Homo-oligomer: A and B are copies of this chain.
Amino acid sequence: MTAVIPFGELKRACGNCSLRELCLPYGIGESDLRRLEQLVQRHAPVARGKQLFLQGDPLRSIFAIRTGSVKSVTVGEDGAEQITGFHFPGELVGFDAIAADVHDCSVVALEDTSVCEIPFDRLDELSGCVPGLRRQLMRLLSREIQQDQQMLLLLGKKGSEARMAAFLLSLSSRFVGRGLSASRFHLSMSRGEIANYLGLAMETISRLLARFQQDGLITVDGREVALLDLPRLHVVADMGSDGGGFTRRREG
């Protein structure tokens, strides 16, 4: 968060970035891209467990993840912590702070993570001149609203199996968009963090993973996961609280 990389290296930061199609530069012309690049500050990587910013910090910048992964955590008055999201390369964090100029969640690295910092005032200013940038910025804000509302549906209406399946599928589809495997990946978060995020107990996560494996849906080895049966996982993820269990334990 301190050492800024010198100017020479910064040049073409966004233009060369493999994530540009996911990130802010999407749909921006060459010359405007150059103006955006001038705002971006690259930093030395953030170590696992360190924060990008804390809940309560004033809004200065938003951040794009370049490599690694982070979680965002909100803590309520009573001290209850809720993880409100995990974020991967190409995704931006800090949007919640625009409303009141204060971050209302903390963002913490799950592994060593490098980010691009973008001062918000200057981004706002630039977005006035560059319609494509403004539009993309709003799209990204809107997408976060969408995702949060999907999550509300998950927490409000779905049982533990559907939550777990939806979580795995969400990771899978995000990794695909980044050129990684849809069916084999590494979990950068602990069981406890998954549990927190899904509104379940850690023990429940453990049991669900074991059960999914027994039933041939997935393979788990520590934090390495393989999804074996995507179609069936989708069925499980779409089960309403009604739908019945995906494996009616055959009694007898």
Task: Identify the A interface with B (CB < 8 A).
Answer: 74, 76-82, 84, 95-100, 104-105, 124-125, 127-129, 131, 134-135, 137-146, 148-153, 155-158, 196-199, 238-243
Asked if residues B124 and A138 are in contact (CB atoms below 8 Å), the reply is yes
The residue that A99 contacts in the complex, of B79, B95, B146, with Cβ under 8 A, is: B146
**Chain B residues near A198 (CB, 8 Å)?**
156
Asked if residues B80 and A153 are in contact (CB atoms below 8 Å), the reply is yes
Asked if residues B134 and A131 are in contact (CB atoms below 8 Å), the reply is no
Asked if residues A95 and B149 are in contact (CB atoms below 8 Å), the reply is no
The residue that A135 contacts in the complex, of B78, B124, B129, B142, with Cβ under 8 A, is: B124
**Chain B residues near A239 (CB, 8 Å)?**
78
Going nearest first, the 5 A-B pairs with the smallest beta carbon separation are A98-B142, A156-B199, A148-B148, A99-B142, A80-B240
Asked if residues B152 and A152 are in contact (CB atoms below 8 Å), the reply is yes
The residue that A155 contacts in the complex, of B125, B146, B199, with Cβ under 8 A, is: B199
The complex places the Cα of A242 from the Cα of B78 at a distance, in Å, of 9
Interchain nearest-CB distance for A232 vs B (Å): 14
